[in-house]
Amino acid sequence: MKLQDAVICITGASSGIGWAAAKAFDRAGARLSLVARRKERLAELASELRDAIIIPADMSDASHAASMIEETVSHFGRIDILVNNAATIIVSRADETDPDDLHRAFAANLVGPLVAVNTALPHMRRQGYGHIINVGSPGFLIGVPCYTSYVCSKAAMSAWTRTIQAEWADTGIMVSEYFPGYIKTDSPPESKYAGVEQSLVIDPDANAVTRFFTRPKSADDVAGQLVKLARKPRLLKHSGVFVPLGAVLSLIPRIRLSIARDMAVSVRKRLGLSIFSTED
């Protein structure tokens, strides 16, 4: 697809992947609808772009997820591509994961995108074309320690993405899944623990296999790949060869556990945690 003057809605645009993607799509000539909770950050970003509107919204609120699509169509007259990038990440030991945190993660990482897609679908059908890009996570294949709500909700997102890929095959509505792996951005996760950084699970002293699969890429790397994916849609795209290789290795339980166990050790060491809360 040609991106010149294409209308693209990007969620989570106030930082990280969303911010970088907005700039990359702007360079490609797209018109942009920028969605995130932080209005001032969106305004700052939009001021640097050619043709962009800002829509302050919380993707965990279904009404916001629906209205952002309608506002986009009302302003531009159409919506060509929806990039579901926004995500809620909450760091918590599994035995301390609160049901409310699970509900918030599923609301933002699954329900919000689902509502946005279902709202965009009638507009895309009338156009005869549309492209959904769901930014997922391969973390559920490994089982990232202390990211229970995130990996569970992202696993559900993948299941939904693949379901609509099957249902909408040959309709002119493309649905893509993008697996970025570990990306180094300026967006720290939520946590009740002190000192949580995005590199929480990365241990420079871990074995070579674990270090290999936790090497970060930058948000700019991902942005460039999202532009390529928009130009040439495909069902599944990874940020690098290590992601599909990791997916294959995750099918070997001993290797999967070895990688995830090293991550768990790194997390406990950095946060000063024991394995179970009863030991604290």
- Give the confidence band of 41 by pLDDT, cuts at 50, 70, 90: very high
Q: Taking the domain 7-189+215-243, which CATH number applies? A: 3.40.50.720
Mean pLDDT of 89-94: 91
The listed range with the strongest mean pLDDT (175-184, 190-199, 200-209) is 175-184
Q: Is the Cβ–Cβ distance between 183 and 140 less than 8 Å?
A: no
Q: Is the Cβ–Cβ distance between 272 and 163 less than 8 Å?
A: no
The listed range with the strongest mean pLDDT (88-97, 165-174, 259-268) is 165-174
Domain ranges across the chain: 7-189+215-243
Of 192 and 67, more confident: 67
Of 196 and 62, more confident: 62
Residue of 218, 260, 262 lying closest to 240 (CA atoms): 218
User: What is the pLDDT, as a whole number, of residue 199?
Assistant: 65
Of 188 and 75, more confident: 75
How does the average pLDDT of the chain come out, rounded?
A: 90
Q: How far apart are CA 85 and CA 176, in angstroms?
A: 12
Report which secondary-structure segment, H or E, holds 183. Answer: strand 183-184
Side-chain half-sphere exposure of 256, counting CA atoms within 13 A? 14
Of 9-18, 23-32, 248-257, least confident by mean pLDDT is 248-257
58-83 pLDDT, tens digit each: 999 999 999 999 999 999 999 999 99
Residue in 129, 147, 150, 178 annotated catalytic = 150
Cross-sheet strand order for the sheet of 52-56: 52-56, 31-36, 7-11, 81-84, 130-135, 173-179, 236-238
52 bridge partner residues: 32
In this predicted structure, the answer to whether residue 158 has a pLDDT above a threshold of 90 is: yes
Mean pLDDT of 1-18: 95
Q: Does residue 147 carry a catalytic annotation?
A: no
134-150 pLDDT, tens digit each: 999 998 999 999 999 99
Q: How far, rounded to the nearest angstrom, does the alpha carbon of residue 75 sit from its chain's CA centroid?
A: 25
In this predicted structure, the answer to whether residue 198 has a pLDDT above a threshold of 70 is: no
Residue 10 main-chain phi, psi, to 5 deg: -120, 120
Mean pLDDT of 79-92: 95
Residue 119's contacts (CB-CB under 8 Å, 6 or more residues apart) are 65, 66, 69, 70
Residue 174 main-chain phi, psi, to 5 deg: -85, 140
Question: In the numeric block, which tokens belong to residue 153?
Answer: 């909700």
pTM: 0.91
Of 67 and 188, more confident: 67
201-243 pLDDT, tens digit each: 665 565 555 555 555 578 888 999 999 999 999 999 988 777 7
